[in-house]
Chain A
Amino acid sequence: MTKARSQISKKRKLKAKGNPASKKNLARDKGIMERIERKSATRTRKPAPRSKRASRLRPERRVLALVATRKGAWIYHGDAARKTWRVDGPHFLGHIVNHLALDPRDGKTLLAAAKTGHLGPTIFRSADFGQTWQEAERPPAFAKPADGQKGRVVDHTFWLTPGHASEPGAWYAGTSPQGLFRSEDGGLTWRPFSCVNDDPQYREWMGSVQDGTPDGPKLHSIIVDPRDPAHLYFAMSGGGVHESVDGGGNWKSLVQGLEVVEGFDPANVAFHDPHCVRLCPANPDRLYQQNHCGIYRIDRPANEWVRIGRTMPKRAGDIGFPMVAHPRDADTVWVFPMDGTAVWPRTSPDGLPSVYVTRNGGKTWKRLDSGLPKGQAWWTVKRQAMTADSQDPVGLFIGTTSGELWMSRDEGNRWACIARHLPEIYAVEVAEIR
C-alpha cells in the first residue's frame, strides 16, 4: 500500500472559531433567540451537575453528531445527558462535504465524502474520530467506456452506507450523477458495484443531468438488510427504488404504488423521484419513503407502496426530503414537510418549520414544533440532514439549510438549537460510542 496523505486537524486553533453557538454569540443574538435556544448552547464551560432524573436516563453510549456542510464538516460531542455539546471542527474547511458517517462495526472509523468547487471528488477516512485523515487511494470513479463512447464522470459522492455487520470493511457509495460503488477495505479503494452504472436500462432510467435535482441527479438511500448482506435496496433521484436479493447480481424495480408528477406515466421508472427511503430497524420488512410525490410505506413481501401522507394536515402537505424511522418501534417515523407548491420554494411551509410524527404507521400525524421558530423561518432540511440516535427516549437531530443544528432529547416533543451560523448543512449522522 502506498503511503497516503495525512491531514492533521488544527483542532486547538480552530476550536474557538468553530463554536458557532458560544455563549458570546448567543448573548449577541439575545433579541431574536428563544428561551430554549439560549438554554442549550454548545458547551463553553463546565456543565452543572446532572439532576437525579438525568442520571437515571444516563445512556451507556455517548452520542456524537456528525455534521456535513457546504463548507466543511463538524463533529459535536454530546455529554452523557445529550444536553451540552463540545464542538470539534471545522474539518476540511472549504470542502463541500456531502456525507460524514461512522462505521458502526468498529465504532471508530469515519468516512467523509468531499470535494471543492474546483477540485475533483474524493473520500477521506479517519480511524481516530477526525484527529487525522487519510485520503482514498481510489475514490469512486466510473469505468472507461468502450471505444468511441462518452464516459461518465463522478461529480461528487453523495451517500455513504456501511456494509453488513458480517462484512467488516465493506462500504457502499452513491454518487452524482447516479452511480453505485463498493469498497472492501474500509473506504481506501472503491470500484463500480454491480451492473447498475453501465446497464442500458438503468442508464435510461437515470436520465440526464437535466432530469435530476438542481445540484445534480443522485443515487442515495443505499440500504443493507440487517438480516442478510445480499439483500440490498437503493434509490435514485430520479430513477426509482430498486432491490436486489443476490448481493447486487440482479436488481428489480420497486415503484408500484408510487405516484409521479401529474401528466407523466408512472409505469416509466425514469419518472419516479424517491427523496429518501428508510428501513425500520425494528422490522426490516417495513420501509418508509419520502418521495417527490408524497409519503409512503411498504410491508414486504408486498411489492406495492401505500401513500400514508394523505393523512398529513393540509397546512403541511406530504412533500419533503428527509425521513427517520424509530430504532425500536416500526410504527413510528418522523418527517420534515417542505413547501413543494407552485415553483417549489423548498422552504418550511409558511416559514413555520415543524417535524411531524406518526406513531401508528401513517394513520395519523402529530405536529412537533415546540422550541422551533414561530415564524419567518424560511429554511428546510435536506434528505440526509435528519437523523435519530438509539437512546431512550430517542434523540432527533435536524440540520438546516440555514446552518443551524437542532436537537430533541424526547423524540421531537421539544427542540433546542445546538449550533447556528454554520454553512448550509447537507447531512447529519449520529455516532454512538462507548
Chain B
Amino acid sequence: MKALIPSSLLSYTHSPEIEAAGATLGELLDDLDRRYPGLRFRMIDEQDNIRPHIRIFVNGEQTFDLALALRPTDVVHIVQALSGG
C-alpha cells in the first residue's frame, strides 16, 4: 500500500511516497523499519505509543491504534505535527 512520509524522515526513505506492506498499521511500520532501519523508533516509542509530535492518518482518518487492520488499497499518511510555533 502507499505510505506518505514527512519531510523530517526523508533522510531515511529519500522519497515522500513509498510502497509498504502489512496486515496492520504496526506491521506496516515494522516493514518500513526493515527497509529503513531506525525509522520506526523515531516515530513510535519503546512502549508502542505514537510519539507526541507524530500523527498517522489512514485514508484521511487519524488513528493511534497500531493494531488497526489495513487493506492493500489503503493510504497511510504519516505527518509531523507542526507544534511549537
Interface residues of A (CB under 8 A from B): 2-5, 7, 116-120, 122, 135-137, 139, 141-144, 150-154
Cα of A135 to Cα of B36 in the assembled complex, Å: 11
Count of chain B residues with a beta carbon within 8 Å of a chain A beta carbon: 23
A120 touches B34 (CB 8 A): no
User: Nearest residue in B to A153 (C-beta to C-beta)?
Assistant: B45
Cα of A173 to Cα of B6 in the assembled complex, Å: 29
B43 touches A151 (CB 8 A): no
Interface 9-mer from B23-31, B46-54, B60-68: B46-54
User: Nearest residue in B to A94 (C-beta to C-beta)?
Assistant: B8
Shortest Cβ distance from residue B46 to the other chain A in the assembled complex, whole angstroms: 4
B81 touches A137 (CB 8 A): no
Q: Write out the residue numbers on chain B whose beta carbons fall within 8 Å of the beta carbon of A2.
A: 34, 37
Q: Write out the residue numbers on chain A whose beta carbons fall within 8 Å of the beta carbon of B36.
A: 5
The 3 closest A-B pairs by CB, nearest first: A141-B46, A118-B53, A151-B47
Number of A-B contacts (CB under 8 A): 63
A117 touches B53 (CB 8 A): yes
Shortest Cβ distance from residue A8 to the other chain B in the assembled complex, whole angstroms: 11
Interface residues of B (CB under 8 A from A): 8-9, 11-12, 34, 36-38, 41-47, 49, 51, 53-54, 80-81, 83-84
Q: What are 12 A-B residue pairs whose CB atoms fall within 8 Å in the complex?
A: A2-B34, A4-B37, A4-B38, A117-B84, A118-B51, A119-B53, A120-B41, A120-B42, A120-B44, A137-B38, A142-B46, A144-B46
User: Nearest residue in A to B46 (C-beta to C-beta)?
Assistant: A141
A136 touches B38 (CB 8 A): yes
Cα of A139 to Cα of B36 in the assembled complex, Å: 15
Q: Write out the residue numbers on chain A whose beta carbons fall within 8 Å of the beta carbon of B11.
A: 5, 7
A122 touches B42 (CB 8 A): yes
Q: A5-B11, A118-B81, A141-B41 are in contact. Are A151 and B53 (CB under 8 A)?
A: no
Q: Add 12 more A-B contacts to A5-B36, A116-B8, A151-B46 (CB < 8 A).
A: A5-B11, A7-B11, A117-B84, A118-B8, A118-B81, A119-B53, A120-B44, A120-B51, A122-B42, A139-B38, A153-B45, A154-B45
